[in-house]
Amino acid sequence: MSLADSTSPNAAFAAVLIEKKRDYWRVRINNPERRNALSQAVVEGLIQAADAVSAEPAVRAVILCAEGDKAFCAGADLKERQGMSDDEVAAFIERLHEMMRRIETSPKVWIAEIKGACMGGGLELALCADLRVAHAGAKFALPEARLGIIPGAGGTQRLPRLIGVAGAKALILTGRRIDAATALRMGLVQESAADAEAAAERWAAEVGWCAPISLTQAKRAIDGGLDLSLEAALAHERECYAVTIPTEDRLEGLRAFAEKRAPVFQGK
């Protein structure tokens, strides 16, 4: 599977497309005939996309979206999986987890732009993003318990860390489907909008005002401190803060503040 820039003549044949903007990229799942399910090609494409954007110093944010309005991602590609051996399934699950961790631990800020169905593995993928914006008509569910399994791509761990144990159990132990307004009330998404694309771009623009190194270190401080004691987490925060002190961007921020102008950050 080859990853394609959206301007490439072969872009339409890629399972994941990249559109490069000035401060952010759009990474688009392109599997609409399977409701943007997590096929092997999609997983490999997302791994490649995460690696590619991590190597771009000018990029602050990544909008993770999907082709069409019917589904952000309907979960695993069960049709494809039916033809796989047990060993192949096990290998695929490992790559699925690796892909999600690459997104989750990326130095960039990932924003999930969710339209339509966001189900099972699709919701687990969205949980790996730093921010989530939903179209007002989006639907969310982790239905695995109704299928005789449990969420197996991080849902039982990431969801309670995001919305709390009680809310996570309410969704996972019932398989209940919720709408965007409920997802917003629960803290699952940051915004529900009639135009999710425009909303995601507004969030990307706000992220773009910040210094690249500051964004990376803030992510590391937040994510790295979650499972630590307060004392250890504060020490971790100081370590992340210390990385920003010798940067040119910090001095530019101070100059811009004094001169009452917008800073021009270089990621240095």
Hey, which residues are catalytic here?
76, 121, 124, 144
Q: What is the DSSP string of 143-155?
A: -GGGGTS---SSH
Buried residues in 131-169 as b, exposed as e (16+ CB within 10 A): bbbbbeebbbbbbbeeeeeebebbbbebbbeebeeebbe
What residue spans of the chain are helical by DSSP H? 40-54, 78-82, 86-104, 121-127, 155-163, 165-172, 180-186, 196-208, 212-225, 230-244, 248-259
Assess contact for 101 and 124: CB atoms under 8 A: no
Distance (Å, whole) CA 219 – CA 105: 8
Distances, alpha carbon 266 to alpha carbons 37, 77, 201, 247, in Å: 37, 41, 21, 10
HSE toward the beta carbon, residue 186, CA cutoff 13 A: 23
